[in-house]
Amino acid sequence: MELCDYTIHELHEMMKRREITSRQITESVLSRIDQVESRIRAYITVLREEALEQAGTIDQKLQKGEIPLTPLTGIPIAVKDLICTRGVLTTCAAKILHNFIPPYDATVIARLKQQNIVMVGKTNLDQFGMGSSTENSYYGITRNPWDLSRVPGGSSGGSAAAVIAGEAIGALGTDTGGSIRQPSSFCSTTGLKPTYGRVSRYGLIAYASSLDQIGPIAKDVTDCAILLNAIAGYDPKDSTSVNLPTPDYTRALVPDITGLKIGIPEEYFIAGMDGEVEEKIWEAVRVLEKLGASSEKVSLPHTEYAVAAYYIIAPAEASSNLARYDGVKYGYRADKYTDLIDMYMTTRSQGFTPEVKRRIMLGTYSLSSGYYDAYYLKAQKVRTLIKRDFEEAFKKYDVLIAPVSPTPAFKIGEKTEDPLQMYLSDIFTIPINLAGVTALSIPCGFTRDGLPIGLQIIGKHFGEETILKVAYAFEQNTEHHKKKPPL
């Protein structure tokens, strides 16, 4: 096994014993990138020289005792290219930001730098986070390491593909309607969407501000907890950040779930769902029951309205957030135009992909005079009902268990001609973002064709410790997370 195939916590223990250096880990990751990146295309920017320099500096400082050896010290981490990184190209996978270099770090990046991580690069995504397949990128399609003819999921497909392929030891993604959990399910990584307000959004380039959350994508549950420890916590720079104490999430990693109550939402097992996905979810429930948990079915009655509500709320917020990309202040500007209005129109039509333009138009329409009450206001009322469904369920159950996606990874190009089919692939993840609760995806098996399947563990607001505990118990009693793609 190469160093790039180990987990964060395994590499940390090896560094503690002085068996390896940060530079050796970084060189292993960069070597893997050389071997597989031309096939996977997980990255938009690889920081080769910068990463090696960072690693060398970290090794020197550790040797002199100038910095502490934290669980993330010297570990190569990838960052979704939707998160601002000072002095490093940040594109959102969009032509309109092809030359944007932020003058500041997002709060999550500043916190990772305090832990002395090595930033290995910026990963590919669906443009501005709008998509479920990482096919909507100006920089090309990312491919699933388990089957190069299939998508890695989206929009954090580059981060999930990089982690499972050994092109990074861990990564940051963002989740607006499932964009951490669905790629984690398709790629067999562990990905966690924190409670809205648990992780600062300062420096995250906004898609839908009331839904976006930054979270970790990792090789196992322990690594997920380590990354969450580093990025979680109150930030006065983010007005939606919640000022609550942040626990040490690694302390929740005990494999005892005796007496735990699991609710299984009936609405998450639907007609047309892949039979192998359903089979693996029920197998996972039986594993948890053997470990001392009890389960029963529960109803979340407003689930059927979630996709419709989401595709009014998210595009409405996107149409507002993306209005700033006009070719004036920064980013791409069209070469040929007749006047100011023509410059705006030509720049935006050339700078955005069809999917981004589709969502901007949907959002602008639903916010327009005469339609606001009929669409946007009604969608927000539905959102409140969905949130109440979860609050009622969590009065009785510690966690909810569900599939992440109705299917395993689909073929590249399979859904690009039918936006509605693409939107429906997020049917089990969207309600969590609308409610603002926390959830994670953990590997729970494979199809007969060798495609990964993810189990979704959903927790109440600020219930990250509970879902990590359940995930850890499941992981310690299964082998799914140990399998690697045959690259």
Residue 372 domain-assigned? no
**What count of other Cβ atoms lies within 10 Å of the Cβ of residue 354?**
11
| pLDDT above 90 for 423 | no
Cis, peptide link before residue 209, omega less than 30° from 0: no
Read off the pLDDT of residues 126-160 as tens digits, 9 standing for 90 and up. 999 999 999 999 999 999 999 999 999 999 999 99
The torsion angles phi and psi of 264, rounded to 5 degrees, stand at -115, 105
What is the pLDDT at residue 416? 87
Residue 341 domain-assigned? no
Q: Output b/e per residue, 238-253; b: 16+ Cβ within 10 A.
A: beebbeeebeebbebb
What is the pLDDT at residue 23? 98
Token representation of residue 260:
């735990």
Token representation of residue 311:
């595709």
Residue 9 domain-assigned? yes
Measured in whole angstroms, how far is the alpha carbon of residue 274 from the centre of its chain? 23
Give me the mean pLDDT over the 385-396 stretch.
98
CA distance 14 to 73: 12
Contact 407, 277 (CB under 8 A): yes
Read off the pLDDT of residues 402-420 as tens digits, 9 standing for 90 and up. 999 999 999 999 998 888 8
Nearest Cα neighbor of 175 from 285, 314, 69 is: 314
Residue 255 domain-assigned? yes
Contact 79, 156 (CB under 8 A): no
Residue 348 domain-assigned? no
How high does pLDDT run on average in the chain? Answer: 97
CATH number for position 123: 3.90.1300.10
- Is residue 155 annotated as part of the catalytic site, yes or no? yes
What is the pLDDT at residue 419? 84
Residue 410 domain-assigned? yes
Q: The domain containing residue 112 runs over which residues? A: 3-261+396-482
Which residues make beta-bridge pairs with 215? 173
Burial class of residue 38 (count of CB atoms within 10 Å of its CB; 0-12, 13-18, 19+): exposed
User: Of 155, 185, 241, 295, which one is the catalytic site residue?
Assistant: 155
What is the pLDDT at residue 229? 98
What is the pLDDT at residue 420? 82
Read off the pLDDT of residues 204-225 as tens digits, 9 standing for 90 and up. 999 999 999 999 999 999 999 9
CA distance 413 to 429: 22
CA distance 387 to 382: 9
Contact 74, 10 (CB under 8 A): no
pTM recorded for the entire structure: 0.97
User: Of 179, 185, 295, 405, which one is the catalytic site residue?
Assistant: 179
Residue 8 domain-assigned? yes
| pLDDT above 90 for 487 | no
Question: How does strand 438-446 pair with strand 294-298?
Answer: unpaired
What is the pLDDT at residue 370? 86
What is the pLDDT at residue 444? 98
- Is residue 200 annotated as part of the catalytic site, yes or no? no
What is the pLDDT at residue 418? 86
Q: Please give the share of the chain, as a percent, with pLDDT higher than 90.
A: 95
- Is residue 31 annotated as part of the catalytic site, yes or no? no
Give me the mean pLDDT over the 330-358 stretch.
95
| pLDDT above 90 for 468 | yes
Read off the pLDDT of residues 23-46 as tens digits, 9 standing for 90 and up. 999 999 999 999 999 999 999 999
Token representation of residue 15:
């560094």
What is the pLDDT at residue 49? 98
Q: How confident is the model at residue 323 (pLDDT cuts 50, 70, 90)?
A: very high
Cβ neighbors of 87 (< 8 A, separation 6 or more) are 101, 102
| pLDDT above 90 for 272 | no
CA distance 133 to 199: 24
What is the pLDDT at residue 449? 97
Domain count, the chain: 1
**What count of other Cβ atoms lies within 10 Å of the Cβ of residue 350?**
14
| pLDDT above 90 for 163 | yes
| pLDDT above 90 for 421 | no
Read off the pLDDT of residues 72-129 as tens digits, 9 standing for 90 and up. 999 999 999 999 999 999 999 999 999 999 999 999 999 999 999 999 999 999 999 9
Residue 24 domain-assigned? yes
User: Of 22, 80, 319, 415, which one is the catalytic site residue?
Assistant: 80
| pLDDT above 90 for 271 | no
What is the pLDDT at residue 404? 98
Q: How confident is the model at residue 474 (pLDDT cuts 50, 70, 90)?
A: very high
